[in-house]
Structure 1
Amino acid sequence: MATTLTLKPGTAWADAWQRALAAAPEAFRDDRALNLWAGGWHADGRTLPATNPVDGTPIAGPPRLAADAAYAAVRASLDQHRAWRHTALPERKARVAAALDALTEHRDLLALLLVWEIGKPWRLAQADVDRAIDGVRWYVAEIDRMVAGRTPLPGPVSNIASWNYPMSVLVHAMLVQALAGNAVIAKTPTDGGVACLTVAAALATREGLPVTLVSGSGGELSEALVRAPEIGCVSFVGGRDTGARVATAVADLGKRHILEQEGLNTWGIWQYTDWTTLAGRIRKTFDYGKQRCTAYPRFVVQRSAFDAFLAAYLPAVRSVQVGHPLAVENPTDPLPELDFGPLINAAKAKELTDQVAEAIDRGAVPLHRGDLATAPFLPGQDTSAYVPPVTLLNPPSTSPLHHAEPFGPVDSIVLVDTEAELLSAMNASNGALVATLSCDDEATYRRLAPQIRAFKIGHGTPRSRGDREELFGGFGASWRGAFVGGDLLVRAVTQGPPGERLPGNFPDYHLMPT
C-alpha cells in the first residue's frame, strides 16, 4: 500500500514568507518585496505574478524597475561608493563580519526560501548558504594582505547573475566586493530568488554595507547596470547570448568585467578500467538536476570501453532520487535526501523534454529514461516542472543537446575511436569551465589534458567552481574578462600599481584600466 506524503510542518511557503517578513520587515510590504537603493527600501517597480517550481503555487514575484529608476539607483550607489571607499579596512571587516553573523542566524530561513523559489533540495539549499558565509569569512581573515597597496575602483560593482546560486555566487561576490571597498549593485535573477536575496540584502544593509538590490528585465536594466558611466566593474553570470551583448558593451567602454558564461562541460573516458570509482561519482553529477555551471552533461567514451562504461553508469543513474523537496511520510521525519527536485520552472521542463523528443526523432538512442510515477510527491500536486534523468547516445549534430549545455538532468554520450575524436568531442562548445578525463595512465592524462579547452581539468575526478584560494575562469566562449577566486577576486575589483595587467581573457588586453 502506497504511503501518503505530507508537507513537513513549518516548511510551507506561507510559513517561509511570514518568517521573511519577521526577519526583515523593512524590506517587504504585504505580499511584495521592495527594491533597495539609496540606502532605503522603495515600493517602486511593477510586481509580476510568479509561481514556485516545487508545486506551481503563487509566490512573490520580482518588483521590476523601469530604466529611469535603475539609473537613479546607479547614481545613488555612486554616492555610497564615494563614502565607502574611504572607510577604513578594520571597519569594513567588522561590518562584513557582522553581516555574516546575521546571515548565520537566519541560515535555515534563507535555505527554505531557496527550496521554494528555485527548487533546491534542503541539503543543497543549506550548502548554498553555508558556502556563501564560510567563503566570505575566509576573505575577512585574508583581506589585509590582499588589498595591501591597492585601492577600490572609481565606481560601484554591478552584479547580474543567474538564479541557480543566489547565495554562494551572488551574495558571496557582493560581500567580497564590499569588503574590498566598493559599493555593490545586484539585479535579482528574473527566474527566482528574490525573497532570499531581499532578506540577505536587508541583513547586510543593517550593518551599514553599501548594497543596492533591484529587479527588472535584463533588456530594460542593462543600459543602467552595464553601460552607465558610474559603474566601475560588471560581474555577469549567465548564458552566452546575453553574455555576448554584455561583453560587447564593456569592451567598447573599457570597463572592468568578469563574465562567466555557459559551456558544455565534458567527461572523457579513454583507456580506463577503474569502473568502481567512476560508478561512485556518477550519481553526484546529478546534484540539483545538473542546473549548475560546473555540471557534467556530456560523457565522451572510447567505443571499445562502452559496454564496461554502461555497466557502471546505468545502475548509478537509476539510483538518482527525484521528488518534492519538503515531502515526508511523518511530520517528525527529516527532510528527504534527494539529488534534485524540480527544474527552475515548467517552461524549462517542457523545453528540455521537447529537445529530448526531437533528438530521439532524429536518431539519438535513449539509453535511460527515468519515471516520475514512483517519485515522492504530495497527493495531486503540480509536477509540471519536474523532469527525471534521461541519457541519450549520440544526439544528432542538429540538436541543441549536441553542442549546448542543457542545464537539466539530461546526459548525452558520444562514442569515439581515436584521441583526435576524443579531444574534438570534448571541445564541442568552444570552451568550458571544467572538464574531467578518466584514464589509467598518468602520462596519457598529462599529454591530453592541455588540449582540452576547459579552465579546470580533473584526472578522474569532477571539478567545481571553488572559492577561497582556488582560482576560477574559463576558456573560449565560456568566459570573458578577469579570472577570480582568492587574490584574483579582490584584484578584479580593486586598482593596483600603474600598468598592472589583470589575469584573464580580454579582447584588448592592453586597454584594460588598472
Structure 2
Amino acid sequence: MASTTDTPLVLKSGTSWADAWRRCLAVAPEAFQEDRVLNLWGTSWRADGRALPATSPVDGSPVAGPPRLDGATAQQAVRAALDQHRAWRHVSLPERRARVAATLDALTEHRELLALLLVWEIGKPWRLAQADVDRAIDGVRWYVDGIAPMVEGRTPLDGPVSNIASWNYPMSVLVHAMLVQALAGNAVIAKAPTDGGVACLTLACALAAREGIPVTLVSGSGGELSEALVRAPEIGCVSFVGGRDTGAAVATAVADLGKRHILEQEGLNTWGIWEYTDWDALTAVVPKLFDYGKQRCTAYPRFVVQRALFDEFLAAYLPAVRTLRIGHPLAVEHPEDPFPALDFGPVINAAKAKELDDQVAEAISRGAVPLHRGKLSDTRFLPGQDTSAYVQPVTLLNPPPSSPLHHAEPFGPVDTIVLVDTEAELLAAMNASNGALVATLSTDDEATYTRLAPQIRAFKLGRGTPRSRGDRDELFGGLGASWRGAFVGGELLVRAVTRGPADERLPGNFPEYQLVP
C-alpha cells in the first residue's frame, strides 16, 4: 500500500459510502431502505428479490447490491410498463418536455451525490464521475430544446424501450438514453447493471419518476430476465450496450422476432502511426487515452506502428505513460483538501484485475515484450486499504495471436503495440476485430490519410486525434461486428425509437442492409 507523499492519506471529509447512503435515504426514501435499494415497476417501488452482496472496487468495502428478481416478476414489470407506455404516448410533446426538463433540474440539484455514488460503485475518479453526470444532463437538455422537428411526422413505438447497458456509464449512456426515449413518447425500462452503479441509477430513476416519467427499473441475472426484457412481445425496442458474446445472443433473439434494436458491442479500436512526425502531439494525448483505466467502449488499447518509426514512437509514448496518476479516488492528505486529480482508480472488481494480470503474464510467457509496467509505489492509497481491484498500466509489444490481448478489447489499462512494414499490413492490423466503433490514423500526409481512411472499418475515424461517442448532434454507431441495429446520436437516436414512414430504412447495421449516414 503506497502513497506518493510522505503523509499518510485520509478519506476526504464527507465522502464515505455511509455519508452517500445517508444522503440517498434523505433524498429518495421511497427508493432506498436502510440495507438495500428497491426496484420500480407499475409506478411503485418494491422490495422484490433478494439483494445480492456487493463490494466497492475502490477499497473492497460493502456497498449496495442489485436485488435479484425472478423471470416471472420481470414479466409483470414489462406488462406494467406497456400500460404506462400506452398512456404516455398520448401525452402532449410540451408536457413531455416539461417533465423531462424538471427531471434534469432535479438531477442537477443532486449532481454531486450522483457523482459520489459513481466513485464508490464503479471506481470513477471525481473528475470523470462529475463528467458522466454532466454529460447526461447537458445532452438530454439539448434534446429537450430541439425535439420538436425530430418527432414531426413520427410516432412512438408500440411498446416500451428495454435498456440493458454495461456498468461503466450509468448516467451519460443509460440515463441519457432513457430520458430521450421518454421525451420521444416511449415508456422506458432499465435493467440495473450487475457489476456496479445500481444506487446511482436508482437515485436517478427516483428523481425521474417523481416528475411523472414512465420509468421501470429492475435488476437480476441477465440470463433469467432476458425472456422478459428482450423477447417479450410487449417490448417495442431493445437497446443494449455490452460485449459481443451477450450482444450476439440478444441480436439473435431480436432478429427472430423482427424487433427494433440498438446493440452497441465492443471492438478493438486501433491507433495507426504511419509516416508521422508530430510526436509532441502524441505525447500530449497519451494520458487522456487512459481515462477511467480504458474501461470504455471507445478506448484505444492497440497501437499499430510503422516499424521504421518505432524508436521515435517509444520516445514520445513512454514518458507520457509514466505520468499517469492512479489511486483511491477519495484519498487526500488532509480531510478538507480538493479531490485528487487522477487518470484512473480501480478496475470494476478484483476478478477483472486478476483476469488482466493473468492475461498479461500469459502473453509475456508466450513471447510478448513488456515495454512498460507501472509500479505500486507510484499509486495513492489509504493506509491498509484493500487494493485487489487496482491494475497498474502495462504496455506490451507483439502480443501472441493465441492471447486475448491480440484480438479483443481488454477493458483495462493495458496497451498493446504491433509493428508493420507496409500499408497493407497497417490496414490488416487496424481491422483485426472485424469492425470497430472508433479508430485514429496519425500520418503527416493528407493524401495518405484520404487514401487509407475508407479502408479502416470503424464508424468514426480521427486524423491524429481520438474519437469518442460524442454528444448532442454527433452521430454514433459501429461497423462490422461492433454494432447491430439502428445507429444513434443526434436525431438518429429519436428516429431509432419512433416510427416514421412505412418504407423507412433507418441508418444502421442490419442483417439485410447497412446504411451509413
User: Could you tell me how far apart the structure 2 residues matched to 1:300 and 1:2 are?
Assistant: 40
SS at the partner of 1:196?
A: helix
Could you tell me which amino acid in structure 2 is paired with residue 21 of structure 1?
L
Indicate which of 107, 113, 117 corresponds to 2:111.
107
Q: How far is the alpha carbon of 1:257 from its aligned partner?
A: 0.2
User: Could you tell me how far apart the structure 2 residues matched to 1:464 and 1:20 are?
Assistant: 32
Matched, 1:41 2:75: no
1:339-358 maps to which residues of 2 (within 5 A)?
339-358=343-362
User: Could you tell me how far apart the structure 1 residues matched to 2:27 and 2:67 are?
Assistant: 19
Matched, 1:495 2:495: no
Q: How far is the alpha carbon of 1:467 from its aligned partner?
A: 2.0
Partner of 1:205: 209
Partner of 2:66: 62
Indicate which of 277, 293, 310 corresponds to 1:306.
310
Could you tell me which amino acid in structure 2 is paired with residue 249 of structure 1?
A
Indicate which of 249, 252, 271 corresponds to 2:253.
249
Partner of 1:482: 486
SS at the partner of 1:381?
A: coil
User: Could you tell me how far apart the structure 2 residues matched to 1:188 and 1:470 are?
Assistant: 26
Count of residue pairs the alignment pairs up: 510
User: Could you tell me how far apart the structure 1 residues matched to 2:203 and 2:496 are?
Assistant: 27
1:100-499 maps to which residues of 2 (within 5 A)?
100-499=104-503
Q: Deviations over 1:205-262 (max 9, x none)?
A: 0000000000011100011000000000000000000000000000010000000000
Could you tell me which amino acid in structure 1 is paired with residue 119 of structure 2?
V
User: Could you tell me how far apart the structure 2 residues matched to 1:106 and 1:48 are?
Assistant: 26
Could you tell me which amino acid in structure 2 is paired with residue 324 of structure 1?
H
User: Could you tell me how far apart the structure 2 residues matched to 1:372 and 1:211 are?
Assistant: 43
Indicate which of 20, 25, 28 corresponds to 2:24.
20
* RMSD, aligned α-carbons: 0.8
Could you tell me which amino acid in structure 1 is paired with residue 510 of structure 2?
F
User: Could you tell me how far apart the structure 2 residues matched to 1:129 and 1:372 are?
Assistant: 30
The structure 1 segments of at least 4 consecutive aligned residues displaced by more than 3 Å after TM superposition are none
User: Could you tell me how far apart the structure 1 residues matched to 2:57 and 2:512 are?
Assistant: 42
User: Could you tell me how far apart the structure 2 residues matched to 1:323 and 1:418 are?
Assistant: 40
Q: How far is the alpha carbon of 1:179 from its aligned partner?
A: 0.1
- TM-score, structure 1 normalization: 0.99
Partner of 1:508: 512
Could you tell me which amino acid in structure 2 is paired with residue 109 of structure 1?
L
User: Could you tell me how far apart the structure 1 residues matched to 2:66 and 2:502 are?
Assistant: 42
User: Could you tell me how far apart the structure 2 residues matched to 1:119 and 1:242 are?
Assistant: 24
User: Could you tell me how far apart the structure 2 residues matched to 1:447 and 1:16 are?
Assistant: 53
SS at the partner of 2:380?
A: coil
Partner of 1:96: 100
Q: How far is the alpha carbon of 1:374 from its aligned partner?
A: 2.9
Partner of 1:3: 7
Q: How far is the alpha carbon of 1:509 from its aligned partner?
A: 4.6
Q: Deviations over 1:379-432 (max 9, x none)?
A: 000000000100000000000000000000000000000000000000011110
Indicate which of 66, 79, 86 corresponds to 2:83.
79
User: Could you tell me how far apart the structure 2 residues matched to 1:498 and 1:43 are?
Assistant: 42
Task: Decide whether aligned partners of structure 1 residues 509 and 277 sit closer, same or farther in structure 2, where only a CA change above 3 A counts.
Answer: closer
User: Could you tell me how far apart the structure 2 residues matched to 1:15 and 1:30 are?
Assistant: 13
User: Could you tell me how far apart the structure 1 residues matched to 2:60 and 2:170 are?
Assistant: 20
Q: How far is the alpha carbon of 1:332 from its aligned partner?
A: 1.9
- TM-score, structure 2 normalization: 0.98
SS at the partner of 1:237?
A: strand
User: Could you tell me how far apart the structure 2 residues matched to 1:202 and 1:365 are?
Assistant: 50
Q: How far is the alpha carbon of 1:479 from its aligned partner?
A: 0.1
Q: Extract unaligned runs of 5+ from structure 2.
A: none
SS at the partner of 1:220?
A: helix
Could you tell me which amino acid in structure 1 is paired with residue 77 of structure 2?
A
Which region of structure 1 is more displaced relative to structure 2, 230-239 or 1-10?
1-10
Q: Deviations over 1:462-493 (max 9, x none)?
A: 00001211100001110000000011000000
SS at the partner of 1:26?
A: coil
SS at the partner of 2:440?
A: strand
Q: Extract unaligned runs of 5+ from structure 1.
A: none
Could you tell me which amino acid in structure 2 is paired with residue 228 of structure 1?
A
SS at the partner of 1:311?
A: helix
Q: Deviations over 1:132-182 (max 9, x none)?
A: 000000000010000000000000000000000000000000000000000
Q: How far is the alpha carbon of 1:331 from its aligned partner?
A: 1.5
Q: How far is the alpha carbon of 1:46 from its aligned partner?
A: 1.2
